[in-house]
Amino acid sequence: MNSSKKMLVCLWLSLLSTSAMYAQEQSLPDSAEGPKSPGVQLIDQVMAFRQQARTQPEEAFTACTGKKAQKIFGPLGRTLCPNTDPSRGWAYFFETSVFSMSFITSSTALAVFYHPWSDVALITEWTRSKTGNSITDAELLMGDTLRNQGNPPYDIEPHWLRSPVPPYLAASLSSAQTIQDFRRIFSPQSSNFKKGWRSVMTNSKLLKSNYLGAGFMFEHNLAGLLKFQNDADFAAVRQQSNDILAKLQRGLADEVLAVAVETRPESQEAIKQYAAQLGQARAITCIRKRDDQKKEHLFVIYSIPGRPECLMSLWFKPEDAALQYTLKRIDLVDQNNTYVHFDAITNVLKNPQ
């Protein structure tokens, strides 16, 4: 992608506010003056489930699934983390994934939790009964399996890494596209679901190969994060990143911005306003990317605790031929906004003029 197209896309992001919600949440009525509708109640419950699953996944599964929790999530946990601790894997998954919902019948809804960094999605079926809402089914899918409705091709390279745009935008666009596809595929307008929601996954025979890919992709993301945290090659960048976080925690946004001199004005204002919260951010990934002149840049991307839809990217640029990286820019991205404006952003990508 050429520099002018990148600039236009980044300009699009700078014009977006940081307070939008996903489309289905925007469409819900304000219930402040009366009882909440069943749909609003369910969304509240799903959000509470995600919040608990960030730190206590097994307890969250049991609370929302009852005795079926181990039967449903035990095998899926071993699929997600074939070689690591599923409990820690689930906690990280929910901490750094976005979610959306589709109300497919009067008593059944689907909630998808999508982890763009590994390109893995968890679909949960929520069913309403006289005793309340509970998870009655769940499935783990590679991103390509979901987007292609179960059909090949499958690619074990995460979707966001296939994009030429800056990594923080690529991940946000990947989330938006996957959520958009989920809402299109699992929509009551696209199918009557007489055979259940699984019937729209038209190639269920390839589910086992999908499981192998999902586990590999998720643990590969974990391995990359572990490498950033421990590898000597990242020591200097890691130290710079930790210093930035420490200053943000102390509210020293001006000192941070004095270093990150290329940060856009819109991001500067948000950094000043939310410095302490941004200082609590958790690293998700570190990736090298070459520009049009073949110069290698390095991005460290963070998720905000409790707000996985919000991303912070530290953009390090090479100072010399020895690749001594120096922080030059901080970008903030709200994945909700990317979803809302997905069509407009992709149009800019296709038609930069």
Query: CB burial class (10 A; 0-12, 13-18, 19+) of residue 1?
Result: middle
Residue 12, pLDDT above cutoff 70: no
Tokens representing residue 8 in the block: 């236009």
For residue 258, the enclosing domain spans 230-335
Q: Is the dihedral of CA 25, 17, 275, 287 positive or negative?
A: positive
pLDDT of amino acid 199? 85
Cβ pair 328, 261 in contact under 8 A: yes
Q: Is residue 171 part of a domain?
A: yes
267 shares a domain with 220: no
pLDDT of amino acid 41? 87
Q: Is residue 340 part of a domain?
A: no
Instruction: Give the pLDDT confidence of 225-258 residue by residue, as tens digits.
Output: 999 999 998 899 999 999 999 999 999 999 999 9
pLDDT of amino acid 301? 96
167 shares a domain with 44: yes
In the listed set 228, 244, 272, which residue is the last one of a domain according to the structure? 228
Helices (H), the chain: 3-14, 23-26, 38-53, 57-65, 69-80, 86-95, 143-147, 167-185, 207-230, 235-249, 253-259, 265-273, 275-278, 335-340, 342-350
DSSP 3-state of 197: helix
Q: How many domains does the chain have?
A: 2
d(CA 202, CA 67): 30
User: Which residue type occupies 254?
Assistant: D
Q: Is residue 235 part of a domain?
A: yes
d(CA 42, CA 146): 23
Chain-centroid distance, C-alpha 201? 22
Q: Is residue 94 part of a domain?
A: yes
Instruction: Give the pLDDT confidence of 20-66 residue by residue, as tens digits.
Output: 322 333 333 344 456 778 888 899 999 999 999 999 999 999 999 98
206 shares a domain with 248: no
Q: How far apart are the first and last CA of the chain?
A: 13
Q: What is the model's pTM?
A: 0.88
pLDDT of amino acid 29? 37
Distance of CA 349 to CAs 189, 220, 326, Å? 29, 29, 28
Range picked from 6-20, 57-71, 194-208 for highest mean pLDDT? 57-71
Distance of CA 1 to CAs 160, 293, 315, Å? 15, 11, 18
Instruction: Give the pLDDT confidence of 161-184 residue by residue, as tens digits.
Output: 999 888 999 999 999 999 999 999
Question: 294-302 contacts: CB < 8 A, separation 24 or more?
Answer: 296/323, 298/237, 298/325, 299/166, 299/167, 299/168, 300/228, 300/237, 300/241, 301/167, 301/168, 301/171, 302/278
pLDDT of amino acid 293? 72
Instruction: Give the pLDDT confidence of 292-343 residue by residue, as tens digits.
Output: 777 888 999 999 988 889 999 999 988 765 557 889 999 999 999 889 888 8
Residue 193, pLDDT above cutoff 90: no
224 shares a domain with 107: yes
Higher pLDDT, 66 or 268: 268
